C-alpha cells in the first residue's frame, strides 16, 4: 500500500496539485488553518469530527469534504480501533485556470459548498469505487515510476475532479444528520464573511443579532472552536492573502479586509503566515 509520512505542512511546494495518502495509528493534534488552495479530503477510516466555518461534521468512511481558499477548518481526531486514514488532494488556483482555458470551470462544486456552508457529501458505492480506482492509479504510477508517470497521475487528478463534480450534484443532503450546528452562529459567520471591511466588534455583532455579548461569545466559541476575535482575524488575513495572490497591492489588501492600521496588519500577517505581506506578494 502506498502511504506517506504525515507532516503538518500546509503550504504547497508543487505548482498545480499535490496528492497525499496518510495513515496514522495514534490521534494527531492539528490546529485551525486555512489554505491558499482548494482541498479534496477523502476520509477512509478513524474517529474524526471535522470543524469547518462553525459546522462540525461527524465523518464516516467514504465521506468527502470540499474546502476552498477561504475556509477555516481543523479535524478533531479521537482515539479509535481503526487508524486515521485519509487521502488529501490539494489543487492550486493555477490548476483550475488551465482548465478554464478549455472552457471548463470545475470550481463550481467548491463554490456551491461554500455558498451553502455545507462542505460534506457522501458518494454512493459506485461513485466512490470510481474515485478510489483513480486514486489507486495515481499511487501505482508513483510506485512504478515509468515514463510519463507524472502525466498519467495528472490525468487521474483531473478524472477525480470531474467524478466528484458530477457526483456532487447527484447526491442529497442526507448527511445532515451527522452535522452539529447552530443557525444563529451560521448567520453570524455568514455576516462576518460578507462584511470583513466593516465594524465587526463584539458590541456591534451583539446588537446586530440581538444577543448578549456573553451568550454570543460563548456560543461562537462552542460551535466554531475559535473566539470571535480569533475567527475574524484569521478570516481577514486569509482574504488579504488571497488578494495578494491575485496581484492586489499590500495597501489594497489590508484596507479592504478591515485593517485600519498597517503596523497591526504587518504583525498579524507575519504571525499567521511566517513572512511579511510584501515578501509574500513578491513571491
Q: 262-269 long-range contacts, Cβ below 8 Å, gap at least 24?
A: 265/240, 268/233, 268/237, 269/237, 269/240, 269/241
Domains, the chain, ordered by start: 17-178 (2.60.120.280), 182-282 (1.10.10.60)
Q: Is the separation of the CB atoms in 252 and 197 below 8 Å?
A: no
Closest CA to 209 of 187, 225, 229: 187
In this predicted structure, what is the pLDDT of residue 126? 93
User: Is residue 89 over pLDDT 80?
Assistant: yes
The pLDDT confidence band at residue 174, using thresholds 50, 70 and 90, is low
SS (H, E, C) 119-158: CEECCCHHHHHHHHHHHHHHHHHHHHCCCCHHHHHHHHHH
Query: Residue 279 and residue 262: Cα distance in Å, rounded?
Result: 15
In this predicted structure, what is the pLDDT of residue 116? 83
Rounded to the nearest 5 degrees, what angle is found at the Cα of 172, between the Cα atoms of 166 and 177? 135
Mean pLDDT, the chain, rounded, equals 92
The pLDDT confidence band at residue 173, using thresholds 50, 70 and 90, is low
User: Is residue 172 over pLDDT 70?
Assistant: no
Identify the sign of the CA torsion 262, 264, 269, 275: positive
Cα-flanking dihedrals φ and ψ of residue 173, to 5°? -90, 40
Q: What percent of the chain has pLDDT over 70?
A: 99
Residue-wise pLDDT for 199-209, tens only, equals 999 999 999 99
Residue-wise pLDDT for 94-137, tens only, equals 888 878 878 788 898 998 888 888 899 889 999 999 999 999 99
Query: Residue 107 and residue 91: Cα distance in Å, rounded?
Result: 10
Mean local confidence (pLDDT), 125-154:
94
Residue-wise pLDDT for 61-70, tens only, equals 999 999 999 9
> 84-88, 99-103, 274-278 — which is least confidently predicted?
99-103
* pTM over cut 0.75: yes
Amino acid at each position: 500500500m502506498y502511504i506517506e509520512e504525515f507532516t503538518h505542512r500546509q503550504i504547497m511546494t508543487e505548482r498545480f496539485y499535490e496528492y497525499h495518502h496518510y495513515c496514522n495509528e495514534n490521534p494527531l493534534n492539528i490546529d485551525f488553518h486555512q489554505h491558499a488552495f482548494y482541498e479534496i479530503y477523502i476520509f477512509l477510516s478513524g474517529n474524526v469530527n471535522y470543524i469547518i466555518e462553525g459546522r462540525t461534521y461527524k465523518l464516516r468512511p467514504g465521506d468527502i469534504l470540499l474546502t476552498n481558499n477561504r475556509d477555516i477548518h481543523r479535524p478533531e481526531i479521537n482515539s479509535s480501533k481503526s487508524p486515521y486514514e485519509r487521502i488529501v488532494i490539494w489543487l492550486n488556483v493555477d490548476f483550475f485556470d488551465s482548465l478554464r482555458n478549455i472552457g471548463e470551470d470545475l470550481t463550481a462544486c467548491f463554490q456551491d459548498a461554500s455558498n451553502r456552508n455545507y462542505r460534506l457529501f457522501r458518494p454512493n458505492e459506485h461513485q466512490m469505487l470510481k474515485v478510489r480506482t483513480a486514486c489507486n492509479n495515481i499511487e501505482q504510477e508513483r510506485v512504478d515510476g515509468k515514463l510519463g508517470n507524472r502525466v498519467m497521475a495528472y490525468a487521474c487528478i483531473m478524472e477525480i475532479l470531474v467524478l466528484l463534480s458530477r457526483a456532487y450534484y447527484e447526491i442529497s443532503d442526507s448527511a445532515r444528520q451527522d452535522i452539529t450546528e447552530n443557525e444563529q452562529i451560521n448567520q453570524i459567520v455568514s455576516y462576518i464573511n460578507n462584511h470583513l471591511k466593516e465594524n465587526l466588534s463584539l458590541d456591534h455583532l451583539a446588537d446586530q443579532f440581538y444577543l448578549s455579548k456573553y451568550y454570543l461569545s460563548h456560543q461562537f466559541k462552542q460551535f466554531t472552536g475559535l473566539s470571535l476575535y480569533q475567527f475574524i482575524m484569521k478570516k481577514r488575513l486569509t482574504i488579504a492573502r488571497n488578494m495578494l495572490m491575485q496581484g492586489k497591492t499590500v495597501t489594497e489588501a489590508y484596507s479592504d479586509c478591515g485593517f485600519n492600521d498597517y503596523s497591526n496588519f504587518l504583525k498579524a500577517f507575519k504571525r499567521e503566515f511566517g513572512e511579511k505581506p510584501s515578501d509574500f506578494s513578491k513571491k
